[in-house]
Chains A and B, each alone.
Chain A
Amino acid sequence: MARLDLADVGHSYVPDAAEERWALKPLRLTFEDARTYALVGPSGCGKSTLLGILSGLVTPSRGRVLFDGADVTDLPTKARNIAQVFQFPVIYRSMTVYDNLAFPLRCRRWDRARIDAKVRQVAEALDLGGRLRQQARRLTADDKQLISLGRGLVRDDVAALLMDEPLTTIDPQLKFTLRRKIREITEQFRPTVIYVTHDQYEAMSFAQELLVMDGGRVVQQGTPEQLFEAPSSTYVGWFIGSPPMNFLTVEHAREGLSLGGRPLAAAWDAPQVTARPQVGIRPEYVRIVTEPGANTFPARLRGVQDHGAQRVLEVDLAGQPVRAKVPREDGVPGVEEFLVHLPRTKILPYVDGRLATLP
């Protein structure tokens, strides 16, 4: 597996378009060897363009693509030695599971013993070992997708494994099983993986690093924890997490900040700006309490969403909407007016939509 570099790579599907309108604005990126990355963002954010540039489907309007230092920008997909898994499984229905897995190796004229050893190793990892003689057409959708994945893994010489929404058409109940398989085998075979999805949950549970994209730019790159705990912008705070992060407009006070006329203590110094700052807090950290104290504000219940093991309470705090995610066993406040605690270490400052100071 290889390290992939994008040097000043950008792309526009429309010739001579102004850079502001490019599908992918010029950027520099490195995908380290043997790491798993997820590209996430809404439709049209540029994630598929970026994947296309790596696979060779799209020739970038600008910049160079390097695999382990070698320039592959002008090479077609075939010559890039990558494996791809798509949204829909690509399998040969008339072949057995074994032949499906062996096919890419036979194409590369591996000798029979080496093919056999590799096919069995991958089939074992995918739990397909007992079904090697089965016709592929008889398999369920998720098993077919496993074979697509297996075909990507049998070739240990590939530079990278590119996956484009591989779980989108899979039954939610089976998604977990498949996600787990993908994780297990990537840990075992250690390929460089670039995984495209619009599902933040899938991305977070799978990848070591996420790249959140919007409007043709990578707006934040980091581990799942970094994106959850310290979104670099209100956009990332909204996109990552469900329900999204709460953002509250606060006032400058004589000392620090205030919210609804009460002091709001934070683990950082108030940003020195004239604009009114916002503070962000995850619904998971908003607490409903009965005792007054620091960073505790009167609130009013507006609505309750029952999600099962958790509930989302929609609360009005100083005239602004706030959502709190609470465990089911905590129940629902029996009164309409109660207190909400915003833990000091869990609030973050945002100015003009960007994270102001890192605590």
Chain B
Amino acid sequence: MTLHATGLSLAADGVDHLKEVTATFRPGRLHTVIGRTLAGKTTLLRVLAGLQRVDSGSLTRDGADFLRTPVWRRDTAMVYQQFINYPHLDVRDNVAFPLRRAGLAREEIERRVEQSLARVGLAEFKERRPSQLSGGQQQRVAIARALAREASILLFDEPFANLDYKLREQLREEFKTLFSDQGDAVVIYTTTDPAEAMMLGDVVLVMHEGRIVQAGAPHEVFDRPATTTVARIVNDPPMNVFPGRIDGDLITVAGLPAGGVPGHLAGLADGAYQFGLRATDVGLAQSGVEGEVTFVEISGSETFVHAVAGQTPFVMQIEGIHDVALGEQVFMRLRPERLFAFDEEGALVRSPACETVLAGGR
């Protein structure tokens, strides 16, 4: 079962919620859709579920029109950010409810309820009411109900966004295993968290202002972001993007000399570029690009130093705890071998060499 969207567009009140969305969702794959709030992620899921109409474009399932398929024949299960359970039903009945409505045999319902509750680790909680469960457990019930449907399309709209971070960490790890044997279902999962998108997705789709701006395997999107926008969205903190120039074998950044042209950028024409560097690839040094520290944050194991060079803001992610004063003049070392080069419109021109592999190939 393959879903194929072509040129889906939807506007309301002059705002594009979906703009020419073209994407393919394949069976047995977990697709993560990453984008900021209001990027169009929820709208896309609602359109796939049949809850929202589009202005134009087509949607097919295995080649047959899907846009005009009624909601109840779409064989789609959805889990929302705000978990929804029936408060008057116990956990077992919450999961069984849609199965009973679908008229399944009692033994089959029993089997699916048992199996899906076991998968989300709630086998012991069948008799509880939702109000007797923690937030994380309630969301597990909602996930179990979606699993029990054995639907061919599973949609998850930021399912862990409202949970405590420790719980999020745990459920995120379980989620991957949970879907490793989902068979041929198409699974689509939206998130605003780059790490979550990378970690869970077999395929990552990056959305921005209603468009899918890039789609591919996680490492492709991360290592070769098609535009500066993608580079910012898939990195946390967002990738540093700054104007610069290549002149002969020298690079200038924010009007300041920033060293020689590294190997992977050799052969690029002279002229203006936008360069990108991850926060982990900018550090404090004795010399380099001079900037003024505007902000310092410590996260226990790392220090985030924000500095501005000329008009250009930078963020550095440095291992360990460093005492840097606000307003201090510092030198930043931009690791030339990690530079991404984008053209002036923001399209990727060159990316740094991919990672090294320890102790042989893999």
Q: Are B234 and A180 in contact (CB under 8 A)?
A: no
Per-position binary interface string of chain B over residues 163-175, scored 1 when its CB falls under 8 Å from any chain A CB and 0 otherwise: 0111101000100
Give Cα A224–Cα B299 distance, bound, in whole angstroms: 7
Q: Are A331 and B234 in contact (CB under 8 A)?
A: no
Per-position binary interface string of chain B over residues 264-278, scored 1 when its CB falls under 8 Å from any chain A CB and 0 otherwise: 000000000000001
Chain A residue nearest to B355 in the complex (CB): A331
Point out the residues of chain B lying under 8 angstroms from A240, CB to CB.
Answer: 300
B358 is an interface residue with CB less than 8 A from chain A: yes
A338 is an interface residue with CB less than 8 A from chain B: yes
7 cross-chain pairs, A with B, having the tightest CB-CB distances, nearest first: A228-B300, A334-B360, A171-B37, A331-B357, A307-B195, A334-B362, A205-B297
Q: Are B362 and A332 in contact (CB under 8 A)?
A: yes
A204 to chain B, nearest CB (A): 5
Interface window among A9-17, A194-202, A252-260, A351-359: A194-202
Identify A332's interface contact among B195, B236, B299, B358, CB under 8 A: B358
Chain B residue nearest to A171 in the complex (CB): B37
A113 is an interface residue with CB less than 8 A from chain B: no
Chain A residue nearest to B161 in the complex (CB): A172
Identify B222's interface contact among A176, A308, A327, CB under 8 A: A308
B227 is an interface residue with CB less than 8 A from chain A: no
Q: Are B301 and A327 in contact (CB under 8 A)?
A: no
Point out the residues of chain B lying under 8 angstroms from A335, CB to CB.
Answer: 359-360
Q: Are B295 and A201 in contact (CB under 8 A)?
A: no
CB within 8 Å of B: which A195-242 residues? 198-201, 204-205, 224-225, 227-228, 238-242
Identify A171's interface contact among B36, B195, B199, CB under 8 A: B36
Q: Are A306 and B164 in contact (CB under 8 A)?
A: no
CB within 8 Å of A: which B195-248 residues? 195, 198-199, 218-219, 222, 234-238
Q: Are A284 and B359 in contact (CB under 8 A)?
A: no
A272 is an interface residue with CB less than 8 A from chain B: no
CB within 8 Å of A: which B319-351 residues? 319, 321, 326, 338
Chain A residue nearest to B35 in the complex (CB): A173
B356 is an interface residue with CB less than 8 A from chain A: yes
Give Cα A225–Cα B298 distance, bound, in whole angstroms: 8
Tell me how many residues of B have a C-beta within 8 Å of chain A: 48
Chain B residue nearest to A288 in the complex (CB): B358
Point out the residues of chain B lying under 8 angstroms from A184, CB to CB.
Answer: 295
Known: A205-B297, A224-B298, A242-B165. A309 touches B358 (CB 8 A): no
Per-position binary interface string of chain B over residues 65-79, scored 1 when its CB falls under 8 Å from any chain A CB and 0 otherwise: 000000000000000
B353 to chain A, nearest CB (A): 9
Give Cα A43–Cα B162 distance, bound, in whole angstroms: 12
B314 is an interface residue with CB less than 8 A from chain A: no
Q: Are B36 and A43 in contact (CB under 8 A)?
A: no
Q: Could you say which of A228, A243, A309 has the most chain B C-beta atoms within 10 Å of its C-beta?
A: A309
Q: Are A241 and B198 in contact (CB under 8 A)?
A: no
B121 to chain A, nearest CB (A): 17
Q: Are B166 and A239 in contact (CB under 8 A)?
A: yes
Chain A residue nearest to B195 in the complex (CB): A307
CB within 8 Å of A: which B29-46 residues? 36-37
Q: Could you say which of B135, B192, B238, B358 has the most chain A C-beta atoms within 10 Å of its C-beta?
A: B358
Per-position binary interface string of chain A over residues 181-198, scored 1 when its CB falls under 8 Å from any chain B CB and 0 otherwise: 001100100000000001
A182 to chain B, nearest CB (A): 11
Give Cα A198–Cα B218 distance, bound, in whole angstroms: 29
Q: Are A200 and B165 in contact (CB under 8 A)?
A: yes
A42 is an interface residue with CB less than 8 A from chain B: yes
Q: Are A42 and B164 in contact (CB under 8 A)?
A: yes
Q: Are B301 and A330 in contact (CB under 8 A)?
A: no
Binding site for B on A (CB under 8 A): 42-43, 171-173, 176, 179-180, 183-184, 187, 198-201, 204-205, 224-225, 227-228, 238-243, 282, 284, 288, 290, 305-309, 327-335, 338
Known: A201-B299, A335-B360. A329 touches B355 (CB 8 A): yes
Q: Are A205 and B295 in contact (CB under 8 A)?
A: no
Point out the residues of chain B lying under 8 angstroms from A332, CB to CB.
Answer: 357-358, 362
Chain A residue nearest to B360 in the complex (CB): A334
Q: Are A43 and B135 in contact (CB under 8 A)?
A: yes
Identify A307's interface contact among B198, B278, B298, CB under 8 A: B198
Q: Are B199 and A306 in contact (CB under 8 A)?
A: yes
Q: Are B295 and A334 in contact (CB under 8 A)?
A: no
B174 to chain A, nearest CB (A): 12
Point out the residues of chain B lying under 8 angstroms from A238, CB to CB.
Answer: 166
A-B contact pairs, 23 of them (CB 8 A): A172-B236, A187-B326, A200-B300, A204-B300, A205-B299, A224-B300, A224-B321, A225-B298, A225-B300, A225-B321, A227-B300, A242-B169, A290-B359, A305-B199, A306-B199, A306-B219, A307-B199, A309-B317, A331-B357, A332-B358, A334-B361, A335-B359, A338-B358
B152 is an interface residue with CB less than 8 A from chain A: no
Chain A residue nearest to B223 in the complex (CB): A328
Point out the residues of chain B lying under 8 angstroms from A282, CB to CB.
Answer: 301
Chain A residue nearest to B319 in the complex (CB): A284
Point out the residues of chain A lying under 8 angstroms from B317, CB to CB.
Answer: 309
